[in-house]
A and B are shown apart, each in its own frame.
Chain A
Amino acid sequence: MRKVAIIGVGMSRFGELWDKSFRDIVIEAGIEAIEDANLEGKEIEAMYIGNMSGGRFLSQEHISALIADYSGLASLNIPAIRVEAGDASGGVALKEAYISVASGIHDIVVAAGVEKVTDVGSAMEIMDSSIDQEWEAFHGATLASLYAMMARLHIHNYGSSEEDLAMISVKNHKNAVNNPKAQFRREIGIETVLNSPYVAEPLKVFDSAPISDGSAVVILASERVARKHTDTPVYINSVVQSSDYLAVQNREDILEMKAVKTATRKALKLAKCELKDIDVFEMHDSFTITELLLYENVGLAEKGRGHELVRDGRVEIDGEKPVNPSGGLKACGHAVGATGIRQIGEIVLQLRGDAGKRQVDAEKGMAVNIGGTGATAVVSILGR
């Protein structure tokens, strides 16, 4: 397997982009990535696109060819592949793109993620389609309520609190202030979170990431080709995908995310490093409890002690292990299929020293992207 580098990063703004179409936002991110990589465009040999639900959000399937076409690549007739794994679609697109370069099949490929959700009124119900429809949704369970049940159990078993969860939202909002691509660039107080209405008790509106429009693109190249295009390649040390039982009820312990644990263990092994070597993290905070459980399942905290990281400030941007300097899904925005790539884009900017006012000092970074309640997890480790 060859070494693979990321040579370009591009992102649209995340948010409610009423005036922009699906095609507009993906091209906006693509152009930025191609300029960043110093490419003309014709060097691109394949595209891997993470998208959860073009069919239900836009009644548009076959978006792989559509995106290649509107990227100006129709005349090159390159392969374009759409991948779907709920809101881990972006992470899986990265993994497929990585394999195609590492294996020697391609030299330069695009890994993209895109979602346009604001053209329909029922975005939440479409998000809920990542849970088991016959045995969870049939009974009235929603994605939020499944995470809410995890939160309830964590609070009951381990003495965490709604305030601890709220502080994760407060942290991510604070970080997003310095991210020009973020959906919510304003600080909030803990009362804002605690006083927001319940979605599924104990989770509230401000514990929940928005469902956003947005796109992110990264360009991958083999090590040899990367050197021709950039002086600051960021290497993909590993990217590992794992799966778990789809329905939460079938997991032995609902606070254990086995897909996350397995992917993390394998990703660290492949990258030949330990968790202590990772300086910055982007984690999938679809809900505040998701981020808290990721602290524990990735191994930053022992089981049942994730909330201590929040209380100690260790996951703040100036803490020992910064998590979500971008603002995370909660404040940067959660453009579903784009999120996994957006996280990678943030880690690349952080490792290159291009993260502006939200810059942290980092040699290695990790992105953790999960689908639904954790039946898919993608863990990526990047290094300079």
Chain B
Amino acid sequence: MIPSFWRKIRYRYNLTGTKCENCGRIYHPPRNICPECRRKSSITEVDLGDRGELLTYSIVHDAPESFKLQRPYVIGLIKLESGVVVTSQISCKPSELRIGMKVKAVFRKYGEDGEDGIIYYGTKFVPCEE
């Protein structure tokens, strides 16, 4: 987990995706090849913005070992203003959740490896009013 975490760290800390200059499509996670253009792909990095709306969500009760302490937690699919959809945790009370609610990205802790191990950070979302 550790090497793969560090390799992708800038995409976790900032909501950055890739844009295909050939067709204009934007993807997250970043890709080396555009699934529409393939050989004609022309990939550049693009900022995805930090605001979006909640497409759907679930409150997770049965969690893997590394997430057990956080149970229950909310996982959601968020459609960002750029049109890109990301999977992320939502930090809020379950009673606040509704499909279509506006959310914004914040920088939060995700977990750690063992008692004195590395702490993982990444993007979570919180409700925001327009």
A residues in contact (CB < 8 Å) with B:
122, 124-125, 128, 134-142, 144-145, 148-150, 152-153, 156, 197-203, 245, 247-250, 254
Q: Are B65 and A149 in contact (CB under 8 A)?
A: no
* A138 in contact with B64 (CB, 8 Å): no
Interface pair A199/B73, CB less than 8 Å apart: no
Residues of B within 8 A of A137 (CB): 64
Interface string of B46-85 (1 = CB under 8 A from A): 0000000001111111111101001001011100000001
- C-alpha spacing A122/B24, complex, angstroms: 42
Q: Which of B5, B29, B56, B60 contacts A140 (CB 8 A)?
A: B60
Which B residues are within 8 Å of any A CB, using their own CB?
4-5, 8, 12, 27-29, 35, 55-65, 67, 70, 73, 75-77, 85-89, 99, 110, 120, 122
Q: Are A156 and B122 in contact (CB under 8 A)?
A: no
Q: Give the residues in chain B near A141, CB-CB below 8 Å.
A: 60, 75, 87
Closest residue of A by beta carbon distance from B7: A134
Say yes or no: A128-B77 contact (C-beta < 8 A), given A135-B87, A148-B58, A152-B57. no
Residues in A with CB closer than 8 Å to B58 are: 145, 148-149, 152, 200-203
Cβ B110 vs Cβ A145 within 8 A: no
Whether the pair A200, B62 counts as a contact (CB closer than 8 A) is: yes
Task: Point out the residues of chain B lying under 8 angstroms from A148, CB to CB.
Answer: 58, 60
CA–CA, A201 to B52, complex, Å?
A: 22
Tell me if A140 and B76 are in contact (CB < 8 A).
Answer: no
Q: Are A248 and B87 also in contact (CB < 8 A) when A141-B75, A149-B56, A149-B75 are? A: yes
Could you say which of A124, A150, A197, A250 contacts B56, with CB atoms under 8 Å apart? Answer: A150
Residue pair A145, B56 in contact (C-beta under 8 Å): no
New A-B pairs, 16, CB < 8 Å, besides A135-B28, A139-B110, A145-B75: A140-B60, A140-B67, A140-B110, A141-B75, A142-B64, A144-B62, A145-B58, A149-B58, A150-B56, A156-B56, A156-B99, A198-B61, A200-B61, A202-B58, A249-B28, A254-B56
Across-interface contacts of A197 in B (CB, < 8 A): 61
**Distance A144 CA – B67 CA, assembled complex (angstroms):** 14
Contact of B61 among A199, A245, A247, A250 (CB under 8 A): A199
Given A122-B65, A125-B65, A254-B77, check contact A153 B55 (CB 8 Å). Answer: yes
Nearest Cβ on chain A to B5's Cβ, whole angstroms:
8
What residue of chain B has the Cβ atom nearest to residue A121's Cβ?
A: B65
Cβ A134 vs Cβ B77 within 8 A: no
Choose from B27, B89, B110 the contact partner of A250 (Cβ within 8 Å).
Answer: B27
CB distance from A327 to the nearest CB of B (A): 23
Residues from chain A with Cβ under 8 Å of B75 in the complex: 139-141, 145, 149, 200
A128 touches B99 (CB 8 A): no
Provided the pairs A153-B55, A249-B77 are in contact, do residues A139 and B122 lie with their beta carbons within 8 angstroms? yes
Q: Provide the bound-state CA to CA distance between A87 and B13, in Å.
A: 33
Which residues of A have CB within 8 Å of B62? 124, 142, 144, 198-200
Task: Please name the residue on chain A nearest to B5 by beta carbon.
Answer: A138
